[in-house]
Amino acid sequence: MTNKTIAIAGLGWLGQPLGYRLASLGYTVKGSVTTVEKATLLQQNGFDAFPVEISENGIAGEIQALLNNSDLLIIMIPPGLRKNTGADYVLKMAHLLSAINEAAVRKIILVSSTSVYADSQGNVTEIDDPRPETIAGKQLRQVEELFINSEELQTTVVRFGGLIGGGRQPAKYLAGRKDLADGNAPVNLIHREDCINILVEILKQDAFGKVFNAVNPNHPKKADYYIQKSNELGLEPPTFAEADSNEIFKQVDSENLKAILDYSFKTSI
């Protein structure tokens, strides 16, 4: 059994079940949430949780308690750019990087996203350099580079596709909607169980200094997938607009999951 101490920045939808899994494997786990209330609740459930709030102005809360005596850090702090808050994710993560460099943590898993690739890139694997077009994608890519280029750290970047499982099924949000775009686009999804399994394998195999695209290898067309899922859930299926056959869409695959971790996907999308 291992007795490594793992810190998780962001005990949310993915961080909490990951924390439980790691604890069951014998790791010592601690993590951060954004409020004292959430931290107290998690402490009552047996989690070593600390309130940590990262903003453009710096870090408030118990960041030292989170990082000190941790063997490695898993960063699961979403950019939060969908809400159009105009938040500068790169600046926030630069503050976190400074705090990490002050502590003695040297191994990092940075959770990123497939939004670092542009649609115009078509089929991509880890050997393709991301050329993001969206604001969120550009900020995520800058943060990846901040950590990858940090001389002090050994960072592994994990780019997750769209997350499903644990009550998250995007079909619920698309049900009944009309004339949706990009019906011919391949879906790039991953189930939460596979997310957790991949992160555990990186730890077990000490696979640091790597990049992994973590997306289920099954890529049905968006229209087919969401119509089928809506029907399975007994919801009104969405309709999709007439597609332009010349459009290019990204399909994200992984060479490294197999080559480096010998990982095969366990949970169907």
Where in the chain are the domains?
Answer: 5-167+188-219+250-261
**CB neighbours (10 Å) of residue 94?**
15
Whole-number pLDDT of residue 82: 56
Mean pLDDT of 72-76: 97
**CB neighbours (10 Å) of residue 167?**
8
Q: For 76, what's the count of Cα atoms within 13 Å in the CB-facing half-sphere?
A: 23
Query: Could you tell me which of 43, 21, 32, 5 has the C-alpha nearest to residue 166?
Result: 21
Note the pTM of the prediction, 2 decimals. Answer: 0.94
pLDDT tops 90 at residue 167: no
Share above pLDDT 70 across residues of the chain, in percent, rounded to a whole number? 97
Q: Are strands 162-164 and 189-191 parallel, antiparallel or unpaired?
A: parallel
Whole-number pLDDT of residue 79: 82
Mean pLDDT of 69-97: 84
CA distance 187 to 238: 15
Confidence of residue 245 (pLDDT cuts 50, 70, 90): confident
**Which tens digit of pLDDT belongs to each residue from 94-130?**
999 999 999 989 999 999 999 999 999 999 999 999 9
Mean pLDDT of 21-41: 93
What topology is assigned to 5-167+188-219+250-261 in CATH? Rossmann fold (3.40.50)
Tokens of 51: 């309130």
Tokens of 23: 């604890």
Whole-number pLDDT of residue 201: 98
Confidence of residue 2 (pLDDT cuts 50, 70, 90): low
Mean pLDDT of 26-44: 92
Mean pLDDT of 235-244: 91
Query: Could you tell me which of 56, 58, 65, 57 has the C-alpha nearest to residue 9?
Result: 65
pLDDT tops 90 at residue 188: yes
